[in-house]
Structure 1
Amino acid sequence: MDKAAEIHAALERSFDAQFLEVIDESAAHHGHAGAPEGGQSHFRVRIRASALTPMSRLGRHRAIHAAIGPELIGRIHALAIDVDA
Structure 2
Amino acid sequence: MTMETLMRERLEAALAPTRLEVVNESHRHAGHAGDDGSGESHWHVVIAAPAFAGQSRIARHRMVHAALGDVMLRIHALSMDLSDG
Q: How far apart are 1:61 and its partner, in Å?
A: 0.1
> Which whole-Å deviations, capped at 9, do the CAs of 1:22-81 have from their partners, x for residues lacking one?
000000000101101121000001000011121000000000100110x11001101111
Q: Which residue of 2 aligns with 1:35?
A: 35
Identity between Structure 1 and Structure 2 (%): 42
- Give the TM-score normalised by the residue count of structure 2: 0.94
Any runs of at least 4 consecutive aligned residues in structure 1 with deviations exceeding 4 A, and if so which?
Answer: none
Question: How does 1:42-81 map onto structure 2 within 5 Å?
Answer: 42-69=42-69, 71-81=70-80
How many residue pairs get matched? 84
AA partner of residue 14 (structure 1): A
CA distance in 1: counterparts of 2:72 and 2:48, whole angstroms: 20
CA distance in 1: counterparts of 2:83 and 2:56, whole angstroms: 12
CA RMSD of aligned residues (A): 0.8
CA distance in 1: counterparts of 2:68 and 2:38, whole angstroms: 21
